[in-house]
């Protein structure tokens, strides 16, 4: 796993023993190595894989993960087994999160900004997104998500696995 992800064996061991919380960048490296979305990687064993249609899932019951380095938060909206991962992201003012290209190798992704402003660096191109804007990510590349504003940026990420060739 260390060789595939570029994450040290010691760090992987600390994460497995719950002695360290991984950063968003480390999660991106691990998810790419395992060919999983970050949402799938973060799922807990206690989550129910099948939520019945017509069942309300309260916001307080939705899994939440916080990056210890940036304060970036991810709330998993879709249940395990749902064909598309939907994740709400809260990016604090001034925060920047970087993901390696490997995090995107097996997925297709769409970003929809709900509030605040988001600067997305994709293939070395800068895109400024504002409330209501949508951006579909292309081929795998290292990416940065940055909130240049003075208020929290809230956006939704939709992730689907790439069609098998």
Per-residue pLDDT tens digits for 83-111: 888 999 999 999 999 888 877 776 788 99
User: How much is the pLDDT for 45?
Assistant: 46
Residues 6 or more apart whose CB falls under 8 angstroms from that of 36 comprise 106
Per-residue pLDDT tens digits for 139-156: 888 899 999 999 999 999
What mean pLDDT is predicted for residues 44-70? 73
In CATH, 2-48+57-161 is 2.30.40.10: no
d(CA 88, CA 114): 9
* Per-residue pLDDT at 43 exceeds 80: no
Q: Is the dihedral of CA 100, 66, 112, 92 positive or negative?
A: negative
Least trusted range by pLDDT, from 91-95, 131-135, 154-158, 161-165: 161-165
SS (H, E, C) 74-132: EEECCCCCCCCEEEEEEECCCCEEEECHHHHCCEEEEEEEEECCEEEEECCEEEEECCC
User: How much is the pLDDT for 52?
Assistant: 61
């Amino acid at each position: 796993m260390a060789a595939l992800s570029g994450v040290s064996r010691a760090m992987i061991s600390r994460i497995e023993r719950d002695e360290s919380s991984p950063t968003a960048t480390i999660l991106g490296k691990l998810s790419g190595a395992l060919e999983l979305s970050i949402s799938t990687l973060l799922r807990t064993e206690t989550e129910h894989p099948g939520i019945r249609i017509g069942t309300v899932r309260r916001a307080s019951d939705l899994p939440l993960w916080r990056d210890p380095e940036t304060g970036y938060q991810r709330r998993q909206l879709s249940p395990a087994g749902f064909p598309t991962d939907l994740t709400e992201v809260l990016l604090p003012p001034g925060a920047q999160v970087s993901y390696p290209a490997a995090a995107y190798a097996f997925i297709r992704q769409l970003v929809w900004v709900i509030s605040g402003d988001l600067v997305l660096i994709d293939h070395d191109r800068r895109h400024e997104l504002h409330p209501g804007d949508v951006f579909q990510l292309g081929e795998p590349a290292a990416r940065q998500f940055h909130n240049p504003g003075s208020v929290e940026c809230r956006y939704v990420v939709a992730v689907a696995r790439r069609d098998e060739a």
